[in-house]
Amino acid sequence: MTLRPLLPALLPTLLVFLAACASAPVTDREPDEGAEHEPLLADAGIAHVVVPEAFVTASTPADNIDSPASWLAPDGGRWLLATAKATDLLIVYDGASGARLRTVGGPGAGPGQLQRPNGIAVVEDPGAGAGHALALVVERDNHRVQAFALPALESVAIFGSEDLVQPYGLWVRPLDGAFEVIVSDNYMSSQDEDLPPPDVELDRRFKRYRLRRDGGAWSADLLGSFGETGEGAIRIAESVFGDISNDRLLLAEEDVASGTRLREYGLDGRYRGRDIGAGLFKAQAEGLALWRCGNDGYWIATDQFKDRSLFHIFDRDTLAHVGAFAGERTANTDGIWLDQAPDARFPEGVFYAVDDDQAVAAFDWRDVAKALGLQETCKTP
């Protein structure tokens, strides 16, 4: 039997199918995505060790997971929280096993609702008493930051919607009885949304807020913006992390065209003229974390290879490169989080990294430290 007589009858259906494909929406890409050639760690030739994951949560591709953070609850259980960009959720896992426990949020612009949540940070909230904390979540498409009280996971503050254009990452620290929150704002060119703006417009790449409690209510004030417009400019901005002891901010420059790397700023928001990892990062500089022990410690920075992510280690003080590790499977990592609080499963702390937009991997810090000859235990006077 020949198919030739069936073609005229099938042609209208085929044309409708092709038209539907042509008009289907393009998958929502981040500004740092869409390269013609995706670099692979297997081809990079970068010396590293392999550290097995302690666990990887169940894969949920529909969530499009971006960033993790964790908190050690008063009962000794560790909560692992992760932002889900596609489902507009905050997912709560058991931080010791990776079991999925519950979700918070859902699409919307009201308190407790989320739109494209990205960066997240957890900070203890001493003003609420022992055993309380805040989880601050950046919402790209609501152009704001939302704070959830832990353990209730109740929305207690929303700020930034009048100032932020396309926020992604954040870093939080206690300061003068309040919290200072630095948020990266990756607004793009008004002429082409796939390109960063001209350098002269990069002076607002980061917004600085003061978040404080006034009685039973929270309020936030914009303290200012910063960003370089020449040398030291951040063209694709997401990850930011600070080291108070060294008066230092590290900012990940994700723009491959100009050279992906880390840039050193002061806590005052001024570029210090030093870049870290230029030429070392072969894929894309991404998530940042800091292991602290007194004035010693290590920076961890992600190189976002598509087959397996590489995690570079730098000396906290000198910023010299110490080594690098990869997991057995963890790939294409966006956010990372290092939690040094001990529990029964991870007595020296745990390092979390997103795995390919669909899960979170956990690494026992003891395994990382032994593999690279790093300090495993922090014992200070």
The span from the CA of 251 to the CA of 286, in Å, is 9
Query: What radius of gyration do the chain's Cα atoms show?
Result: 22
**What is the pLDDT, as a whole number, of residue 122?**
98
Give the chain's end-to-end CA distance (angstroms, integer): 86
DSSP-derived secondary structure letter, 12: H
Beta strands at 321-326 and 49-50: parallel, antiparallel or unpaired:
parallel
| pLDDT by residue, tens only, the chain of 381 residues | 333 343 344 444 433 333 333 433 334 667 666 555 689 999 999 999 999 999 999 999 999 999 999 999 999 999 999 999 999 999 999 999 999 999 999 999 999 999 999 999 999 998 888 889 999 999 999 999 999 999 999 999 999 999 999 999 999 999 999 999 999 999 999 999 889 999 999 999 999 999 999 888 999 999 999 999 999 999 999 999 999 999 999 999 999 999 999 999 999 999 999 999 999 999 999 999 999 999 999 999 999 999 999 999 999 999 999 999 999 999 999 999 999 999 999 999 999 999 999 999 999 999 999 999 999 999 765
Residue 378 belongs to a domain = no
Strand, coil or helix: 243:
strand
User: Using an 8 Å Cβ cutoff, are 305 and 283 in contact?
Assistant: yes
CA-to-CA dists, residue 206 to 79, 86, 111, 352, angstroms: 29, 25, 24, 25
Domain count, the chain: 1
* Residue 229, token pair as written in the block: 């417009």
Q: Which domain CATH number covers 307?
A: 2.120.10.30
Q: Which domain holds residue 83?
A: 36-372
Cα–chain center distance at 78:
19
CA distances from 147 to 119, 132, 150, 340 (A): 12, 13, 10, 22
Largest CA distance in the chain: 87
Query: Is the residue at 342 inside a domain?
Result: yes
What is the predicted pLDDT for the residue at 23?
A: 34
Q: Quick check: is 15 in a domain? A: no
The pTM for the full model equals 0.91
Cα–Cα distance for residue pair 313/128, rounded to 1 Å = 35
In this prediction, residue 33 carries a pLDDT of 67
Domain contains 41: yes
Query: Is 257 buried (19+), middle (13-18) or exposed (0-12) by CB count in 10 A?
Result: exposed
The answer as to whether 25 is a domain residue is no
Collapsing DSSP to helix, strand or coil, 242 comes out as: strand
Q: How many CB atoms lie within 10 A of CB 198?
A: 12
DSSP 8-state symbol, 77? P
Q: Would you say residue 5 lies in a domain?
A: no
Residue 170 belongs to some domain of the structure:
yes
CA distance 98 to 54: 10
Distance CA 114, CA 346 (A): 31
Q: What is the pLDDT of residue 216?
A: 81
Three-point CA angle 235, 241, 244, nearest 5°: 130
One DSSP character per residue, 13-63 reads HHHHHHHHHHHSPPP---TT---SS---HHHH----EE---SEEPPP-GGG
Q: Tell me, what's the pLDDT at 36?
A: 57
Amino acid at 245: S
Query: Would you say residue 343 lies in a domain?
Result: yes
Q: What is the rounded distance in angstroms from the CA atom of residue 260 to the CA atom of residue 257? A: 8
